[in-house]
Amino acid sequence: MSDTPNRAERAANLFDLRRIIGGLFVAWGVLLIVLGLLDVGDVDNAMNINLYSGIGMLVLGLLFLLWAFTRPLGRELRESEQASGSARSDGEGTRRPGDTGS
Amino acid sequence: MNDVRLDTNFVDYLIVASYFVVVLGVGFAAKRYIKSSLDYFLSGRSLPAWITGLAFISANLGATEVLGMAANGAQYGVATVNYYWLGAIPAMVFLGLVMMPFYYGSKVRSVPEYLLLRFDKQSHVFNSVTFAVATILIAGVNLFALALVLKLLLGWPIIVGIIVAAVVVAAYITLGGLSSAIYNEVLQFFVILAALIPITVIGLFEVGGWGGLQDRVRESKLGEAGLHALEGTNPGDVTNPIGATWIGLVFGLGFVLAFSYWTTNFAEVQRALSAKDLSAAERTPLIGAIPKLFLPFVMIVPGMIALVVIPGLGSDQPNMEYNNAIPLLMNEYLPNGMLGIALTGLMASFMAGVAANVSAFNTVVTTDLVEPYLKKGMPDEWYIRFGRIATIGGIFVSIFTALIASTYDNLMNYLQALFSIFNAPLFATFIIGMFWKRMTSAAAIWGLIAGTVTAAGLFIGYKAGWIGFGSDLDQSMWGAGAAFVVDAVVTVVVSLMTKPKPVDQLQGLVYGMANVDESVKRPPHWWESPKLLGFSVLAGAAILTLVFW
């Protein structure tokens, strides 16, 4: 089992929804935090919405990225395919990203 | 402030643009990179069950739902929670625990296809036609809602907004295709939450918390009645803002409308049908029910906040329709930056709503109507080309159905009226067909026709002013109830007069003859039990309803 991802695995990783959500939320979160710190925006609120929302979105985005990179989709798929190859009729996806151990 | 024109600047446009660049970029890249259809659905198949559940709830959490539920929150107050805890959760649990074994076990690919197997071609054709009409009307609702947002954002007239939105959606479907739609759906769930949670938090903060909001609602035109879910619904003494009795609520909304929507809606059932085994299929709507429990707190509460902080909401003044509750709040509270996020969330889900309905329309017209009945045996390319033409035609017709939607000042009520006509009779036919082997094919078609005509007649009668109801919502609840009863009665009577299908043709399609799922690979964990999950969610809904009684 080499660690060099093949083409299918790279494709799986590239289009992993968790990376897309994570990336977008991290980018937006950083942007909002900057806006919040600069205090731009012309609405007079008691609370700095951009800053707090930005922090929330950044954390969510980082969690998605952390999840996606600790359990890459490509490797998960290869492992589950190999498992189904050896263990009879194991089918696809007995182990999916997000399943904790077991 | 009467002006709803949002103070957007380049930062907001940057955020909106970045979203569409990502979604369309993924679509383009996917086209080049991905070779097989297996690759294409890779991410969907390998995602954990809770993401499938999110996709299920995302299909329902369109922007019409967001705008409409906030509108209801402003118009009816806390009573709107009945759409969730009474009007969705039990139906979702029923779909998961009771109906899924037949849908999934019979290996049908679509809801109309079940009718074809259980009954015959007639009810298949009838359901396919009404389904095509319904999708086009619902696509029109989304198109109109998108135009509404464009009007608020750019100040465009509604009609220009509708046409531009239609052109953009047409481009979006042809360019991004299905892959964009899949990504869009799950993404939009998070983007919408990212928009709604800050609006709710800041709004509650400004009105002095939940207690402050309650005080302010008591002083508003809703009064004390706006703070209760089910109080004041006794027949003869209806003080509930919905204007309905608990009989109408439980039977019309909770039973007929909700069960028919959740159990026969193609877009919803489809998510569960694509699950990897029966247990996962059963759990899909149940997992989706968990966020549904808590969504009222970020959907209805903002509507109530809008009622008390935006003077004149719901009056005849321009731009003060209930539908505008969320955009008005965005304008009131959100600074540039968050404004862009909120706009992105709304626009993304409208686009997804139009796209999903238009592609469902083209699928049903092409594969359920044209291919089997009108033009048999043409080459594959012919059907693909026809599908493209159907897509463009569907979008074109949606422009006109959007104009119908624009006459409703509460979009959710319009949607409920559509469901009462198209889904309620279907549900009666399904439920009887699944549990009564004796039900005949003739009964199916006559029951469907009678039920649809009844609901449509009540709707037209109400609109024309011949029949009076407590409210728009009251009308759709009674319309749905009547359609259900008429369909059921006609079904039973016709069944008793006609000859049933031989029992051996019903294997896997009716109660007591479910196919056994042989694809189970390992003993399930205790927390994977659909029953445990289903009953826990039901208990949660009951407790929340009691708390807000």
Nearest residue to B456 (alpha-carbon basis) of B432, B430, B487: B487
For range B399-424, the mean pLDDT: 81
Among partner residues A42, A46, A92, which is closest to B206 by beta-carbon distance? Answer: A46
pLDDT exceeds 50 at position B456: yes
pLDDT exceeds 60 at position A82: no
Helix (H, G, I), strand (E, B) or coil at B238: strand
Nearest-CA distance B153 → chain A (Å): 16
pLDDT score at A57: 92
Residue A86 covered by a domain:
no
Average pLDDT value for chain B: 78
Per-residue pLDDT band at B502 (split at 50, 70, 90)? confident
* Contact map slice: B 386-445 vs A, CB within 8 A: none
Q: Which of B341, B519, B522, B525 is the best residue to mutate to test the A interface, defined by the most A CB atoms within 10 Å of its own CB?
A: B341
Q: Residue B523: is it exposed, middle or buried by C-beta count within 10 angstroms (0-12/13-18/19+)?
A: exposed
Residue type, A9: E
Among partner residues B205, B337, B521, which is closest to A94 by beta-carbon distance? Answer: B521
Per-residue pLDDT band at B486 (split at 50, 70, 90)? very high
pLDDT score at A30: 93
pLDDT score at A78: 60
Helix (H, G, I), strand (E, B) or coil at B203: helix
pLDDT exceeds 70 at position B138: yes
* Chain B residue with Cα closest to A57: B194
Residue A63 lies in domain: 25-74
| Contact between B263 and B94 (Cβ < 8 Å) | yes
Nearest-CA distance A53 → chain B (Å): 7
Q: How many CB atoms lie within 10 A of CB A94?
A: 16
- Which residues of chain B does A42 touch, with a Cβ-Cβ cutoff of 8 Å? 7, 335-336
Largest CA distance in chain B: 69
Q: How many CB atoms lie within 10 A of CB B474?
A: 22
Whole-number Å distance between alpha carbons of B218 and B211: 11
Q: Highest-confidence range of B23-27, B90-94, B166-170, by mean pLDDT?
A: B90-94
pLDDT score at B44: 42
Residue A31 covered by a domain:
yes
Beta carbons within 8 Å of A79's beta carbon, 6+ residues apart: A95
- Which residues of chain A does B22 touch, with a Cβ-Cβ cutoff of 8 Å? 20, 23-24
pLDDT exceeds 90 at position B162: no
Residue A33 covered by a domain:
yes
How many distinct structural domains can be found in chain B?
A: 1
Looking at B85-89, B245-249, B389-393, which range is the least confident one?
B245-249
* Chain B residue with Cα closest to A56: B194
pLDDT score at A26: 94
pLDDT score at B46: 47
pLDDT score at B175: 63
B293 touches chain A (CB under 8 A): no
* Chain B residue with Cα closest to A43: B335
- Which residues of chain A does B522 touch, with a Cβ-Cβ cutoff of 8 Å? 94
Please provide residue B238's backbone torsions phi and psi, each rounded to the nearest 5 degrees: -90, 110
For range B449-472, the mean pLDDT: 84
pLDDT exceeds 70 at position B48: no
pLDDT score at A98: 38
How many distinct structural domains can be found in chain A?
A: 1
pLDDT exceeds 90 at position B25: no
| Contact between B499 and B506 (Cβ < 8 Å) | no
pLDDT exceeds 70 at position B209: yes
Distances from the Cα of B35 to the Cα of A79, B38, B180, B459, angstroms: 21, 8, 16, 49
Whole-number Å distance between alpha carbons of A53 and A70: 26
Residue A40 covered by a domain:
yes
Looking at A20-29, A52-61, B82-91, B190-199, which range is the least confident one?
B82-91
pLDDT tens digit sequence for A29-39: 999 898 888 87
Partners of B233 in the β-ladder: B238
| Contact between B252 and B78 (Cβ < 8 Å) | no
pLDDT score at A58: 94
Residue type, B229: A
Among partner residues B39, B341, B521, which is closest to A8 by beta-carbon distance? Answer: B39
Distances from the Cα of B133 to the Cα of A28, A47, B10, B138, B418, angstroms: 39, 47, 40, 9, 10
Distances from the Cα of B447 to the Cα of B125, B442, B488, angstroms: 14, 8, 7
For range B450-464, the mean pLDDT: 88
pLDDT exceeds 70 at position A95: no
Looking at B21-25, B320-324, B521-525, which range is the least confident one?
B521-525
The pTM score is: 0.79
Residue B543 covered by a domain:
no
CB contact under 8 A, B186 and A21: yes
Looking at B22-36, B343-357, B405-419, B456-470, which range is the least confident one?
B22-36
CB contact under 8 A, A43 and B335: yes
pLDDT score at B242: 66
pLDDT tens digit sequence for B257-312: 788 888 887 767 777 776 767 777 788 888 888 888 888 888 888 888 888 887 77
Q: What is the DSSP string of B70-110?
A: HHHHHHHGGGGGGGTTTTTHHHHHHIIIIIHHHHHHTT-SS
pLDDT tens digit sequence for B348-392: 777 777 777 777 787 778 778 887 788 777 777 777 777 778 888
For range B180-206, the mean pLDDT: 81
pLDDT score at B155: 77
Residue type, B285: P
| Contact between B283 and B533 (Cβ < 8 Å) | yes
For range A67-94, the mean pLDDT: 55
Query: 């009064």: which residue's tokens?
Result: B223
Q: What is the DSSP string of B275-342?
A: SSSHHHHHHHHHHHHHHHHHTHHHHHHHHHHHHHHSTTTTSSSTT--GGGHHHHHHHHHPPTTHHHHH
For range B29-58, the mean pLDDT: 57
Please provide residue B335's backbone torsions phi and psi, each rounded to the nearest 5 degrees: -80, 160
Supply the ipTM of this predicted assembly.
Answer: 0.76
Whole-number Å distance between alpha carbons of B485 and B450: 10
Residue B276 covered by a domain:
yes
Nearest-CA distance B197 → chain A (Å): 9
Residue A41 covered by a domain:
yes
* Contact map slice: B 126-185 vs A, CB within 8 A: 179, 183
pLDDT exceeds 60 at position B38: no
B33 touches chain A (CB under 8 A): yes
The vertex-B248 CA angle with B244 and B252, nearest 5°, equals 130
- Which residues of chain B does A72 touch, with a Cβ-Cβ cutoff of 8 Å? none
Instruction: Give the whole-number percent of chain B exceeding pLDDT 70.
Output: 81
* DSSP assignment letter at A6: -
CATH number of the structural domain spanning residue B172:
1.20.1730.10
Nearest-CA distance A54 → chain B (Å): 8
CB contact under 8 A, A32 and B341: yes
Among partner residues B46, B334, B339, which is closest to A77 by beta-carbon distance? Answer: B46
pLDDT score at A27: 93
- Which residues of chain B does A28 touch, with a Cβ-Cβ cutoff of 8 Å? 15, 18, 194, 341
- Which residues of chain A does B333 touch, with a Cβ-Cβ cutoff of 8 Å? 43, 45, 49
Instruction: Give the whole-number percent of chain B exceeding pLDDT 90.
Output: 3
Per-residue pLDDT band at A61 (split at 50, 70, 90)? very high
CA B117 to the chain's CA centroid: 26
Nearest-CA distance B461 → chain A (Å): 47
B276 touches chain A (CB under 8 A): yes
Beta carbons within 8 Å of B205's beta carbon, 6+ residues apart: A46, A47
pLDDT exceeds 50 at position A91: no
Largest CA distance in chain A: 64
Residue A1 covered by a domain:
no
Residue B216 lies in domain: 10-513
Nearest-CA distance A66 → chain B (Å): 15
Per-residue pLDDT band at A1 (split at 50, 70, 90)? very low
